[in-house]
A and B are shown apart, each in its own frame.
Chain A
Amino acid sequence: MIKNTPYWVLIPSSILTTIIIAPLLYLILKSITANSDIWEWIFRWQTLLIIVRSLALVATVSVISLIIALPLSILTTKTDLPFKSIFTISHALPLVIPSYVGAYLFMTAFSPKGLFYKFISNYFEINSIPNLYGFWGAAIVLSLLNFPYLFLTLRATLIRIDPEIEESAKLLGLNDFSIIYKIILPQLKPAIFSGILIISLYTLSDFGAVSLLRFKTFTWAIFLEYETGGSHSAAILSVGLFIIAMKLIILEALVNKNFRYHSIKSVGQKKPLILKLNKFKIPCIFLCLIVFTFSLLVPISVLSFWLVRGIYHGEIVSIDYLPIFNSIYISMLTTITVILFAIPLSFLTIRYKSILGKILERLSFIGFALPTISVSLGLVYIGARIGSPIYQSTLMLIIGCLILCLPVALGPIKSRLLQINPNLEDAGKTLGFSNIISTFRITLPILRPGLVMSSSLVFFVTMKELPAVLFLSPLNFPTLSTRIWSYTSEAFFAKAAVPSLILIFCSSIIFAIFLYKSKLDFS
């Protein structure tokens, strides 16, 4: 079957697979060759504690996100809630705030003597508010910033539920609430589990929030080991993190295997069923407003406070353009690279159903389970082995971001490619164009909406990315994310406000393109 696969598909796909598995293989190799002292150091109570902490955080963030996202997604799709589109956008927007920015704002607002304390101490006699650093701080910040992943996943499924199913339920005598409970929720189960998987993986691999809020999970522990020169122990912890992430993915696949009977077909022109909220309308609006306030309004207000204060006290004198330029530069290079590799890989898995294609697809999936910090660490060690010109080069940073962003990019391209009739390319061939020209003139233009969606997602993820940049960027290569992180960890809160605002502003533009394109999916 390989002989039918064109070279422009086969070669990039093979290179990609090598790039993806190399860091993991290196980390495993490094773990195996660690001496007995290190293994003794690994098998102690602290390591178990790290595992427990990480899993507890994952579970808490998943539960809180579900409690927030489930009602909001149903309200914005299936009811007569007013301002539905405004709420939809505002509940997706927290994604533009990186976790380290969220953590920095949370720290300065809700620390024992922070802004919130100063604000209420004007009115009440209190000494301090409870310390919310550590577990609860990380859990709240990560939930408020990550619930949109679940919200968007649930919405996508809710929109595609066939209204005829709900109508027949109504004809069979169910009232509105029974329809939600008996018809809609059971159909949502697979989406809930896949959404929770995404949130779990992001929580597990989050570095910014847990490091700033001083909650020692895997990622921060790996970083501390790396900083203090414990390369073997950092490698072992990275492999451990990878194994946990892999187990979560397998768990989700096993759970969702039982739900494949749900038929989700394209609804087309049918009108969705709208449930009347009646007397619950006001409480529901209130619920949406609360989430909006804490996930978006508070962070932006605190950020604005620091900006104004910084300008007022003369701490912010001018804007440093270098990190802005570096962030955009890296994001652009990564986007181009990822798209160039994602197109052939998508073609390989969808058009050329060969054994090789299947193997490569499975392997590329590893990228999804590989936490950024593990990838980065693996690449750093490989880079250090090879030395210049690879070590601490822009190329290394882009390779890291490529592995990180590939699973994100593949989704929209593959689903779009699946919709394209293969006869179109055959038609091109019968009209006198070679295989590759048919692909370029026919399939690629139709693929464009998927490409735009993928590109905006990749750009967006790379702009926000922190650990990969910390580990892999060349010397003296500040980006917006590293600037924010270093200012914040050294408590220059006002100085961190400008790069944070710029980052959020750029991300919002890209995110708006993504949201706009995902609605314009013509067929």
Chain B
Amino acid sequence: MIKKQTVISCKNLSKSFSSTLAVNNVSLELFEGETLGVLGSSGCGKTTLLRLIAGLETPDKGEIQISNSIVQNSEIHIPTHKRNLGMVFQDYALFPHMTVKQNILFGHQTENKTTTLKHLLELTRLNGLADRFPNELSGGQQQRVALARTLATTPELILMDEPLSNLDASLRKDVRNEINEILVSSKTACIFVTHDKEEAFTISDRVAVMDQGKIEQLDPPDKIYFWPESKKVAILGGTCEFIPGVIEQKIVKTILGDLPLRKPNEFENGTEVSVATRPTDFEITVSPNGRCIVVDKKFTGDENMFSIQLPTGEHLQCKHKIHTSLFSGLKVNLTANPHTKFNTFLP
């Protein structure tokens, strides 16, 4: 196996604004052609992390290397324009006084401008719009101009700050797929920041879950979903609810019966734990002497989401097939899906 080149590595980055620690001791590495999604709720420090990497902010501590040369440590600060990276801003930051063509070629330094422009317009499907001004474009088109403008400088690394958050729901999916294709075909490494787990999971090769300035877990999307290392990651990685349980002989005993463990040797027998459950983990079966009660049904179009009251009084979200005869007040039983293994955390 060929070892991939490191595009960027951050070591122990920290940055605080007045009294809040926006980025707390963050380290990460990114390889060529790889896409890293930074997932976190608003205010978790993810935008600050991007701006530190871009050189738009100076960290209090830590080191940044881009293509194996140091661009930031306690002595060196290479300014943004010498770091050979591109950034796509949340509001796109297109230059309002320039046409699409002028915007795209703004940072392009080499001779063959016409070829580059033609190639980029084709890649971002903006053919025929080269002479328009940004205010004459739709949100999705502006987004693609911002991306083309960044690609025109052939950066080694692209940073994207919530690139899809200004688009409406119907457009998001399309643009998301387009960005994915463009990144794959241009083979550029990319760090992109989002609060939307679906976005993070579909675009990224790896996802960094961030909370209160710290990276909680950095892993491929499926691992984040199935192997969360903390309660926070479990919650940020998808709909998640917790029920109490006690570890016993490599299983966990709960109100819903004995459940298999994903990491059987993590806790000693008798440890009281919280068991993370996803809406897909349980099968609903109707039974006249069922111990649980259906209390609510939400039909979202693609699926039915039921709220089930457990004997303890707690509520649990469960997905169920579209064509169903379940209704509120019905007595049911919940049984764990045969392939599901459960993650447990200290309460």
Q: Taking beta carbons and an 8 Å cutoff, which residues of A are in contact with B?
A: 421, 423-424, 426-435, 438, 441-442, 445-446, 523
Contact = CB atoms under 8 A, between A and B. Distances in A.
B81 A432 contact: yes
A449 to B, nearest CB: 10
B201 to A, nearest CB: 26
Nearest to A441: B106
A426 B97 CA distance: 16
B56 A431 contact: no
A422 to B, nearest CB: 9
Given A432-B81, A432-B153, A438-B81, 4 more contacts: A421-B93, A427-B93, A429-B79, A431-B150
- Majority SS at the chain A contact face: helix
A434 B81 contact: yes
Interface string B78-103: 01111011110101010111000000
B86 to A, nearest CB: 6
16 contacts: A421-B91, A424-B93, A427-B87, A429-B55, A429-B56, A430-B81, A430-B87, A431-B107, A431-B150, A432-B81, A432-B153, A433-B81, A433-B107, A435-B79, A445-B97, A446-B96
Contact of A429 (B81, B95, B149): B81
Nearest to B58: A4
Contacts of B8: none
A445 B96 CA distance: 10
B107 A426 contact: no
B294 interface: no
A446 B97 contact: yes
Given A426-B56, A426-B87, A432 B93 contact: no
B114 interface: no
Contacts of B84: 432
Contacts of B150: 430-431
Interface string B127-163: 0000000000000000000000110010000010000
B331 to A, nearest CB: 52
- Majority SS at the chain B contact face: loop
B89 A423 contact: yes
B210 interface: no
A430 B106 CA distance: 11
B289 interface: no
Contacts of B81: 428-435, 438
Contact of A431 (B96, B149, B159): B149
A431 B153 contact: yes
A489 B159 CA distance: 70
The 6 closest A-B pairs by CB, nearest first: A431-B107, A429-B80, A423-B93, A430-B87, A427-B93, A423-B89
Nearest to A433: B81
A438 B109 CA distance: 15
Nearest to B79: A434
B52 interface: no
B97 A430 contact: no
Nearest to A442: B95
A450 to B, nearest CB: 13
Contacts of B93: 421, 423-424, 426-427
B121 interface: no
A431 B93 CA distance: 12
B91 A430 contact: no
A390 to B, nearest CB: 41
Contacts of A424: 93, 95
Contacts of B10: none
Contacts of A445: 97
A441 B106 CA distance: 10
A429 B107 CA distance: 9
A424 B56 CA distance: 12
A132 to B, nearest CB: 53
B44 interface: no
B119 to A, nearest CB: 17
Contacts of B64: none
A237 to B, nearest CB: 48
A305 B56 CA distance: 66
A430 B95 contact: no
A386 B339 CA distance: 93
Contacts of A435: 79, 81
A428 B214 CA distance: 29
B54 interface: yes
B56 A432 contact: no
Contacts of B89: 423, 426-427
Nearest to B149: A431
A246 B197 CA distance: 57
A432 B107 contact: yes
Given A421-B91, A423-B91, A435-B79, A430 B86 contact: yes
Nearest to B83: A430
Nearest to B152: A431
B79 A430 contact: no
Nearest to A423: B93
A523 B56 CA distance: 25
Contacts of B159: 430
Nearest to B90: A423
Contacts of A429: 54-56, 79-81
B61 to A, nearest CB: 18
Contacts of A426: 54, 56, 80, 87, 89, 93
A426 B55 CA distance: 10
A421 B92 CA distance: 10
**Centre residue among A421, A430, A441 by max chain B CB count within 10 A:** A430
